Homo-oligomer: A and B are copies of this chain.
Amino acid sequence: MHSGRFYTLPEFVLWTRRVIYALTALAIVPTVLYQYFHWHWLAMPWVPIALVGTAAAFIAGFKNNATYARAWEARQIYGGIVNASRAWGIMVKDHVRHADAAAATAVHRELIYRHIGWLTALRFQLREAREWEHMKTEANYREYRQRYSVPEWETKLEDEMAPYLPVEEMNYIMGKKNRATQIIATQSRRLRELHEAGMIETLCYVEMEAQLREFYDGQGKCERIKGFPYPRQFASINRYFIRMFVFMVPFGMLKEFEKLSHEAVWLTIPFSVLVSWVFTSLEQIGSSTENPFEGSPNDVPITAISRTIEIDLRDMLDEKDLPAPIQPVNKILM
The chain A residues found within 8 Å of chain B, CB to CB, are: 1-7, 9, 12, 41, 43-48, 51-55, 57-59, 61-62, 64-66, 68, 71, 75-76, 79-80, 82-83, 86-87, 89-91, 93-95, 97, 131-132, 137, 176-178, 181-182, 184-185, 188-189, 191-192, 196, 201-204, 206-207, 209-210, 212-213, 216-217, 219-221, 223-224, 228-229, 231-237, 239-241, 244, 252-253, 255-257, 259-261, 263-264, 267, 271-272, 274-275, 278-279, 281-282, 285, 288-289, 298, 300, 311-312, 315-316, 322
Contact = CB atoms under 8 A, between A and B. Distances in A.
Contacts of A83: 213, 216-217, 219-221
Nearest to A55: B278
Given A62-B65, A94-B189, A210-B207, A236 B6 contact: yes
B256 A45 contact: yes
B233 A288 contact: yes
Nearest to A219: B83
Contacts of A57: 54-55, 58
A274 B244 contact: yes
The binding surface of chain A is classed by DSSP as helix
A94 B191 contact: yes
Contacts of A61: 58, 62
Given A220-B82, A237-B285, A275-B51, A41 B263 contact: yes
Given A46-B47, A48-B272, A207-B210, A90 B184 contact: yes
22 contacts: A1-B228, A5-B132, A6-B239, A7-B232, A45-B257, A46-B47, A47-B256, A48-B274, A48-B275, A51-B278, A54-B57, A57-B58, A59-B64, A62-B64, A66-B68, A79-B224, A87-B212, A91-B209, A97-B196, A177-B315, A177-B322, A244-B278
Contacts of A210: 207
Copies in the complex: 5
Contact of A233 (B2, B3, B204, B257): B2
4 shortest interchain CB distances as A-B pairs: A83-B220, A79-B224, A2-B232, A90-B188
Nearest to A1: B228
A131 to B, nearest CB: 6
